[in-house]
Chain A
């Protein structure tokens, strides 16, 4: 057999570790999408009237829009009437402490490696756990409150902090921004809310684990993070889902607002079920993430490690409005088997002396397609703005593809833009060279991948950098040999 064939054959043997289903009694909305569905969700969440109005308006907007077709991914048309838009546990949904948690759920945490157990709690990571349409547990809420930091589910925030929500929800990603953002605005179920008051440095890492459990259900999470003047917060989200033959939709919206000199670090380790080795099943991950550097010298950085999903469509962006504000995007996107990823970022420079940095590392194996799409926009007002972009692609085998689409719009002549791109391939020669020095194929790939991704991993919170490395190793397990 020829080596490239073997590469591909072995590429199909890596296994997804989080494919189990939790057996928990759930209540779901009737299948399909209509005003009634939205009323149902809103009622389930005991929302105030204004929230329902907001959703219904978004629904009308969505109905007038059409699905985007400019993305470099291919999938059968989604039947939006064939999806369940709400699934929540029958029993008391929000727990106050670990002791109250359904043991079945606890086992779920354990299997997912979520740090709710004491030992990891001591490590100082607060966790919000969202299963399907509901947040079920938020740890360290009280302790954070002492610092003035609000960390809770968005459902709770709508009830408890309506003025903050009304002020900021949709302020960064307007409802009509795009098709999936409009859909999310109409039907979003849960997600996290973070508020860091003036001058506060959030004393611990905040994290949310998103889990799709129920069948035929879409997850529409909504996250909002607000960092007031001179504050700092680091937030991490993780995602997994059971293995199912049908595709499931995950359409999230994340909005970040950073005021004067505030800094938000947002990290993602996305490991939704990617589908099996024949390309059956898997999550459609259509996400709108955007941060607004509203204040002077504010800073937002996105770090993402994307290994899962059948299809990923996602461009975490920064609007650099405040003078001297900084936007960063560090990304590792892995595709294997039949996965498709179209991901990248947008850096919108509006303020003076704004800076952005993009480091994108794509890894393609199997028959997958991996696209980087990046937009750097320098507005007329963006005097002396600066962007640096580095877009690298790494191919494993020769049935996969990597594509780079950098877009550039410069309307201020004092702005500076630098772009670098490389493509490399882990080929037979490279592997044999490593073999000859005593490294097996797998070790060789790990070594090369970790070297390749170093610059991105460096930006992950320490506790998660190791996790991300392991995740990569698992995703590419058997991709050569």
Chain B
């Protein structure tokens, strides 16, 4: 589903990703871990199409298509979703209106009619229950004045509404209390099918107790330097990153 080959990315001439490779198949969950500043969010942003990054080499193939050729909103229409590490506040636009616009744009791109208001309301209610979101937040300006945890939960709510094929979650667990973490993880698990895939960026093994990954990758110095199964996350939790760095630098 997602094939990243020898991807090199820089910003303002400063290299961040360097010959990175990653392969994700439908139905899989991949966890990406790595020290601060190692390039995890950069990878997520480049997949989603943020254009302030310069892609200097390599390619990203998604469902057999060259992803780098598409505008960010076109990637979204094709099922790429990014749960932001720092969700943005949109003044004056309610979550309800925002989601309606998002869903309708996607439907338009797929040649479908706009969603019927009744179905939309039913769906938003359902998904709100899934992440136990306070309905009051729906009519407020999107993310404006939301608490850190509310913002993160709102990202998952949007993910549930848009039903992506490839969902990238950038530190969705940071800032969540224990209960919220469980709610979000259950939400994600209930969305899992054999057709979609998740890339979960996290610093904490804790999340992976709930969302069990098929693979764990360590991103360091702009490359994936180590991959393994879920036991790799446990090992990191235990020993930190020093040993990985030593191995790489040796």
Report A's interface with B, CB cutoff 8 A: 3, 394, 422, 424, 428-430, 432-440, 443, 447-448, 451-452, 454
Assess whether B77 is in contact with A438, with CB atoms less than 8 Å apart.
yes
Assess whether B50 is in contact with A432, with CB atoms less than 8 Å apart.
yes
B51 interface residue (CB < 8 Å to A): yes
- In the complex the two chains form, what is the Cα distance from A452 to B142 in whole Å? 12
Assess whether B97 is in contact with A433, with CB atoms less than 8 Å apart.
no
Q: Sort chain B's interface into a size bin.
A: 20 to 34
Of B48, B52, B71, which contacts A440 at CB under 8 A?
B71
**A-B CB contact pairs (8 Å), 7 listed:** A429-B88, A430-B88, A433-B90, A435-B49, A438-B76, A438-B77, A451-B92
B150 interface residue (CB < 8 Å to A): no
Chain B residues, Cβ within 8 Å of A430: 88-90
Assess whether A447 is in contact with B98, with CB atoms less than 8 Å apart.
yes
- In the complex the two chains form, what is the Cα distance from A447 to B98 in whole Å? 8
| Chain B residue with the shortest CB-CB distance to A1 | B51
- In the complex the two chains form, what is the Cα distance from A9 to B77 in whole Å? 27
- In the complex the two chains form, what is the Cα distance from A430 to B82 in whole Å? 14
- Assess A435 versus B90: contact at CB under 8 Å? Given A443-B101, A447-B97: no
- In the complex the two chains form, what is the Cα distance from A439 to B105 in whole Å? 7
Chain A residues, Cβ within 8 Å of B191: none
Q: How far is the CB of A293 from the nearest CB of chain B, in Å?
A: 31
Chain B residues, Cβ within 8 Å of A452: 91-92
- In the complex the two chains form, what is the Cα distance from A433 to B98 in whole Å? 11
- In the complex the two chains form, what is the Cα distance from A146 to B168 in whole Å? 68
- In the complex the two chains form, what is the Cα distance from A422 to B73 in whole Å? 29
| Chain A residue with the shortest CB-CB distance to B161 | A437
- Assess A451 versus B91: contact at CB under 8 Å? Given A438-B106, A438-B109, A438-B162: yes
- In the complex the two chains form, what is the Cα distance from A430 to B50 in whole Å? 12
Assess whether A435 is in contact with B71, with CB atoms less than 8 Å apart.
yes
| Chain B residue with the shortest CB-CB distance to A3 | B52
- In the complex the two chains form, what is the Cα distance from A430 to B48 in whole Å? 14
| Chain A residue with the shortest CB-CB distance to B109 | A438
- In the complex the two chains form, what is the Cα distance from A91 to B201 in whole Å? 76
Against A, the Cβ 8 Å flags (1 = close, 0 = not) of B37-61 are: 0000000000011111000000000
Assess whether B93 is in contact with A439, with CB atoms less than 8 Å apart.
no
Interface centre among A422, A432, A437 (most CB of B within 10 A): A437
B102 interface residue (CB < 8 Å to A): yes
Q: How far is the CB of A210 from the nearest CB of chain B, in Å?
A: 31
| Chain B residue with the shortest CB-CB distance to A428 | B52
B174 interface residue (CB < 8 Å to A): no
Chain A residues, Cβ within 8 Å of B93: 447-448, 451
Q: How far is the CB of A292 from the nearest CB of chain B, in Å?
A: 34
- In the complex the two chains form, what is the Cα distance from A197 to B84 in whole Å? 61
- In the complex the two chains form, what is the Cα distance from A428 to B84 in whole Å? 14
Q: How far is the CB of A290 from the nearest CB of chain B, in Å?
A: 30
Of A424, A437, A451, which contacts B102 at CB under 8 A?
A437
Assess whether A439 is in contact with B101, with CB atoms less than 8 Å apart.
yes
Assess whether B97 is in contact with A440, with CB atoms less than 8 Å apart.
no
Kindly list the 4 A-B residue pairs having the minimum CB-CB distance in the complex, ordered from nearest.
Answer: A451-B92, A435-B72, A438-B76, A433-B88
Assess whether A439 is in contact with B102, with CB atoms less than 8 Å apart.
yes
Assess whether B72 is in contact with A432, with CB atoms less than 8 Å apart.
yes
B81 interface residue (CB < 8 Å to A): yes
B223 interface residue (CB < 8 Å to A): no
Assess whether A438 is in contact with B73, with CB atoms less than 8 Å apart.
yes
Assess whether A424 is in contact with B91, with CB atoms less than 8 Å apart.
yes
7 extra interface residue pairs, beta carbon distance < 8 Å, beyond A434-B90, A438-B106, A443-B101: A436-B82, A436-B84, A437-B102, A438-B76, A438-B103, A447-B98, A451-B141
Assess whether A448 is in contact with B91, with CB atoms less than 8 Å apart.
yes
Of A429, A436, A448, which contacts B81 at CB under 8 A?
A436
- In the complex the two chains form, what is the Cα distance from A7 to B175 in whole Å? 34
Which residues in chain B, 147-177, are within 8 Å of chain A measured between CB atoms?
A: 158, 162
